[in-house]
Amino acid sequence: MCQHQPPCPSADSADRESARLVAHHPEQGWSLLCNGVVLFEDTGELLPDGRIIDPHRPLDPSRVMTAA
């Protein structure tokens, strides 16, 4: 699917979220990556084969960084 050089990580790869953005819709809370992964703003993912990856935000509020 990916035409970039070097190619983006596949949807099955552990670093799949580092693929390039193809479409970004922050008003709807999702982005489409080059590898076919739909990435949601809550950090959940929908893989091209239909598998769902649950959100994986940090749960400890002391570890969340905020803008100054």
Q: pLDDT tens digits for 13-49?
A: 999 999 999 999 999 999 999 999 999 999 999 999 9
Q: pLDDT-derived band of residue 1, with 50, 70 and 90 as boundaries?
A: low
pLDDT digits (tens, 9 = 90+) for 14-23: 999 999 999 9
Show Cβ contacts of residue 46 under 8 Å, excluding neighbours closer than 6 positions: 37, 38, 40, 52, 53
**What pTM did the predictor assign?**
0.77
Q: In a 10 Å sphere around its CB, with 0-12 CB exposed, 13-18 middle and 19+ buried, how is residue 59 labelled?
A: exposed
Q: Does the structure show a pLDDT above 70 at 58?
A: no
**In angstroms, what CA-CA distances link 30 with 24, 26, 58?**
7, 6, 19
Q: Are 6 and 20 in contact (CB under 8 A)?
A: no
